Every structure is written in structure tokens, then in C-alpha cells.
Amino acid sequence: MQYSFGRGIGRYIQDTAGLGLDGQVDAVPAGFDTAYAAAWSISYEHWFTEKWLSNVTYSEDLAGFKGGQPGNTYIGAKYLVASIWYIPFRNMSIGFEYVWGERKNVDEQRARANRIDGLIQYNF
């Protein structure tokens, strides 16, 4: 489990990193103000045998809104991932995961996305 919150920390939250949501210049009164951000996640990993395991993770984040941003500015998201892994022998993993996400903007528009990923990994 993890929870982070504070002002000016948008760069440290994965979904908001690089979006410039750490702060904003206010016209009236003139000045600079840091934006509030919060994020949390919870994960569970279960080993069925020495070769099979699964993971489930859910998270949400929220970017503060101070006014004056365009309607399509990111304000929050939800994320769910469930995966299953097979380890046929040491140093090799085969995994499949389902990912669901939802984004919300300042103007209340929302969008959802789903995907399925596969991975074969070998560690030298």
C-alpha cells in the first residue's frame, strides 16, 4: 500500500509527471501557487506454486485544480491491473496482464481504456 499527497508533488506521481501540474502562475493576485496532488495504490501478490503467481493492483490519483486551466487539463485517474505469471525455470518468466484505466479532466470529460499485454522475460 502507498499514499502520497502534498503541494507541488505532481512530478513525483507517475500519471502527472511531466504534465506541468506542480504549480501555476496566478494573474489575480499576481503570484505563483503550488498545486495539490494525491495518489494511492494497493497491490496484492499471490504465489499458487513455486512456478505460478498472480498480481492485482488498483490505484487512483488526483491533481489539484486552481482555476484558469483549460477544460481538457488532467485532474485524476483510476487504474486496475491483474496479471498471471509462469516461471518455467530460473531466470525466465512468462506473463499476461489485463489493464483498465479511466482518466478524468477538469471539464468532467472521462475516457476509459482496456488492454491485454504479454511478456516473455529472461534475466541473464
- Could you read off the pLDDT of 97-120 as tens digits, one per residue? 999 999 998 888 999 999 999 999
What is the rounded CA–CA span in Å between residue 118 and residue 35? 37
pLDDT in tens, 28-39: 666 777 778 889
pLDDT beyond 80 at 14:
no
The pTM for the full model equals: 0.78
The grid coordinates of residue 4 equal: 502520497
Average pLDDT in the chain = 87
- pLDDT value at 15 more than 80: no
Say if residues 53 and 46 touch (Cβ distance below 8 Å).
yes
Instruction: Give how many domains the chain has, as a whole number.
Output: 1
Identify the H or E element spanning 121.
strand 110-122
pLDDT for 81:
97
The whole domain housing 115 covers 2-122
